[in-house]
Amino acid sequence: MAARNGLPKIHTASQRKQDGICHDDSAPTVKAQTIDELHSLQKKKSAPTTPIDGTLSSFASLSEEERQKQQLQSISASLASLTRETGPRVVKGDPARKADTPKAASHDVHHHFTPTINVSDSSLKFTHVLYNLSPAELYEQAIKSERGSFITSSGALATLSGAKTGRAPRDKRVVKDATTEKELWWGKGSPNIEMDEQTFLVNRERAVDYLNSLDKVFVNDQFLNWDPQNRVKVRIVSARAYHSLFMHNMCIRPTPEELENFGTPDFTIYNAGQFPCNRYTHYMTSSTSIDLNLARMEMVILGTQYAGEMKKGLFSVMHYLMPKRQILSLHSGSNMGKDGDVALFFGLSGTGKTTLSTDHNRYLIGDDEHCWSDTGVSNIEGGCYAKCIDLSGEKEPDIWNAIKFGTVLENVVFEEHSREVDYSDKSVTENTRASYPIEYIPNAKIPCVGPHPKNVILLSCDAFGVLPPVSKLNLAQTMYHFISGYTALVAGTVEGVKEPTATFSACFGAAFIMLHPTKYAAMLAEKMQKHGATGWLVNTGWSGGSYGSGNRIKLPYTRKIIDAIHSGSLLKANYKKTEVFGLEIPTEIEGVPSQILDPVNTWADKKAYRDTLLKLGGLFKNNFETFTNYKIGENNKLAEEILAAGPIF
């Protein structure tokens, strides 16, 4: 055994001396003349994900050469400064590797224009592009050049997202032009903070200049949406291997053939997150800005390295593009039973979409973002993004086992030597996260599509502890609660929110919607009606008192409730109606103590319960006032019904 401070004795074949002469050449020697050649043998050439080596191009077929040229031209065009050169001189590969240094530019693959005296000095520099690297290559890049990158004991890549460990919704801006002014939701309650085209271009140039000034940039060409008819091509240009691996996991990964025929992207992200925006720039209120331009189909990220901005930025784009095609985009998880019954799980951050859609007895379609079209549901993404605070192998075995090689573990704390992660440690943030490809969940449904949903489950984490663990909703109630989007935000995901407080977020995702909430609500109502889906409200939050005195409903109980919804048994249960909210609650569910089903039973102080119930009812009423003047759907009947489906007292 090798001691940590000493080398073990080396036993070689030469010890079995036959002729008294030391032969250490009993195995054939390597077919290499030089050390460089030896190293070149180690890696099998299998593009397209491997960075190309300059010496290789001469062997490549003409059409392959032409394809590479077009690909580089497309990347150069993406990275173009809009005020100077048409595009940087791009070269594929890691600048740290000899074969990829600008000498390689003499090969015709990297032809590009020859800089002349009247262009800027920046055009004299090569931009090295690491194109669609594999997880293994990205691990190496991260460990080599990004402080805070480590391999954990289960093989995941631990990383730090920097100063920001959650999204920054107050810094998310959208370009208001003649088109978006009319189409998008602006003003009170809307997530769309306006900026003008000029300011967008200033920030874009800042990001592009920053990216081009670096030694290397990562470029991911990937897809969104498993529905082949409505697939969107996305390009992500970023400065960190962490960002590239995160998007590799979260977007749909192209096959080598699909990558060959990728062409130009439909949407491009410029992630210059390490670099701040400039507060002298109009509209900027901090050093962070996440800017969306729907006319250019581009997003620029400055001043935050939190990778969730890219994922949710793309989600916003889908919330704009899909409704134009009569497809409903949803902040929901989705899974399917053995008999093909599909359930949707809506809910704000931390309410249980990932936890409850990841169910060992069902096929996972997706954990966070879906489309509902005329053909059924499709996942937008290629991966999952699970919260991992207090994660345990017993309670959530599938998520636990997904944390292996290839998975990005954000902001977790681990033991220095063993690299065992301590999932209870909140030293960096409470919003610790794991990002993994969906196929890391053993019963993932690939391709991630399914038929029309049978159950629509609205998850709410009620910090007041007055909503029942489960209620059956009629269509008007489903719409009322969908538009309200109530939860008690669990600390962490949104910057600066540390304590649970009541939140209303339209469509259970106001931060990501682009159109007025009633547009999405009308589409949901129409689809639920047409396909006969049942709505449910599930409280994954407190019972027996509010946050501070009661306790969070035990996950195994919530799972039993969800099981009863899926199996259809809950539909047949006996129901009674609650006061104030008028919710239908079951009297019995297998595996769940009956007395917790009606929250009044779990509160010792009945007056406190009643006061809290009325208080929450009042908050719902106040919140809904914004929507009372809007028309929902074709006739006004539904709008009136929805209004009447709220709390009455």
Ligand X SMILES: O=C([O-])CC(=O)C(=O)O
Chain contacts with Ca ion (rule: CB under 5 A):
353-354, 368
User: Is residue 312 flagged as an active site residue?
Assistant: yes
Q: Annotated catalytic, 368?
A: yes
Q: Is the peptide bond before 48 cis (omega within 30 degrees of 0)?
A: yes
Q: Kind and range of the H or E element at 153?
A: none
354 binds ligand ATP (CB under 6 A): yes
Question: How many angstroms from the chain centroid is the CA of residue 42?
Answer: 35
Residue 480 contact, options ligand X, Mn ion, ligand ATP, none, Cβ 5-8 Å cut-off depending on partner type: none
Across the beta sheet with 433-437, the strand order is 150-151, 157-159, 408-410, 433-437, 383-387
* CA pair distance 595, 572, nearest whole angstrom: 19
**Which residue in the block uniquely carries the two structure tokens 């990937």?**
222
Contacted entry of ligand ATP, ligand X, Mn ion, none for residue 308, CB cut-off 5 to 8 Å set by kind: ligand X
Of the residues 89, 128, 253, 433, which is catalytic?
433
SS3 31: coil
Q: Does 367 bind Mn ion (CB under 5 A)?
A: no
Task: Examine the residue annotation and report whether 235 is marked as an active-site residue of this protein.
Answer: no
279 has catalytic annotation: no
Spot the catalytic one: 206, 240, 312, 566. 312
Token pair 């400065």 is found at 239
Residue 166 C-beta: closest distance to ligand X, Å: 6
Work out what residue 354 binds among Mn ion, ligand X, Ca ion, none; the CB cut-off runs from 5 to 8 Å by kind: Ca ion
- From Ca ion, ligand ATP, Mn ion, none, interface partner of 558 (C-beta below 5 to 8 A by class): ligand ATP
| Catalytic position from the list 341, 368, 462, 563 | 368
With binding defined as CB under 6 A, does residue 555 bind ligand ATP? yes
Q: Which helix (H) or strand (E) holds 320?
A: helix 308-321
Interface residue list for ligand X (CB under 6 A): 166-167, 308, 312, 349, 368, 385, 493
Q: What is the DSSP string of 519-570?
A: HHHHHHHHHHHHHTPEEEEEE-SEESSSTTTSEEPPHHHHHHHHHHHHHSTG
110 binds ligand ATP (CB under 6 A): no
Residue of 385, 480, 482, 504 interacting with ligand ATP (CB under 6 A): 385
Does 381 bind Mn ion (CB under 5 A)? Our answer is no
Binding string, residues 475-504; x marks residues near ligand ATP by CB under 6 A: ------------------x-----------
Tell me the residue nearest to Ca ion as measured from the CB: 354
Burial status of residue 479 (CB atoms within 10 A of its CB: 0-12, 13-18, 19 or more): buried
Q: Nearest approach, Cβ of 352 to Ca ion (angstroms)?
A: 9
State in angstroms the smallest separation of the CB of 508 from ligand X. 9
Answer for the pair 478, 455: CB distance below 8 angstroms, yes or no: no
Of 66, 258, 132, nearest to 57 by C-alpha is 66
The answer to whether 386 and 460 are in contact (CB under 8 A) is: no
What radius of gyration, in Å, describes the C-alpha atoms of the chain?
27
433 is catalytic: yes
* Contact residue for ligand ATP among 190, 271, 335, 349 (CB under 6 A): 349
Catalytic residue of the set 235, 331, 370, 566: 331
Question: Least separation, in Å, of the C-beta of 355 and Ca ion?
Answer: 8
Q: Which amino acid is at 377?
A: V
Task: Quote the least distance from Cβ 538 to ligand ATP, whole Å.
Answer: 8
- Dist. CA 389–CA 610, nearest whole Å: 33
Concerning whether 354 is annotated as a catalytic residue, the answer is yes
Question: Is residue 368 involved in binding Mn ion (CB under 5 A)?
Answer: yes
618, amino acid identity: G
Q: Judged by CB under 6 A, does residue 508 bind ligand ATP?
A: no
536-555 per-residue burial string, b: 16 or more CB within 10 A, e: under 16: bbbbbbbbbbbbeebebbee
Please state the closest distance from residue 504 (CB atom) to ligand X, in A. 15
- What's the number of CA atoms in the CB half-sphere (13 Å) around residue 440? 26
**Whether residue 331 lies in the annotated active site:** yes
From the list Mn ion, ligand X, Ca ion, none, pick the one residue 49 interacts with, judged by a Cβ distance below 5 to 8 Å according to partner type. Answer: none
With CB under 5 to 8 Å by kind, the binding choice for 351 among ligand X, ligand ATP, Ca ion, none is ligand ATP
Sign of CA dihedral 11, 12, 17, 22: negative
Q: Out of ligand X, Mn ion, Ca ion, none, which partner does residue 167 contact, by CB within 5 to 8 A per kind? A: ligand X
Neighbour tally for 24: CB within 10 Å: 9
Catalogue the active-site residues.
167, 312, 331, 349, 353-354, 368, 433
- List of residues contacting Mn ion (CB under 5 A): 368
- List of residues contacting ligand ATP (CB under 6 A): 347, 349-356, 368, 385-387, 389, 493, 540, 552-553, 555, 558
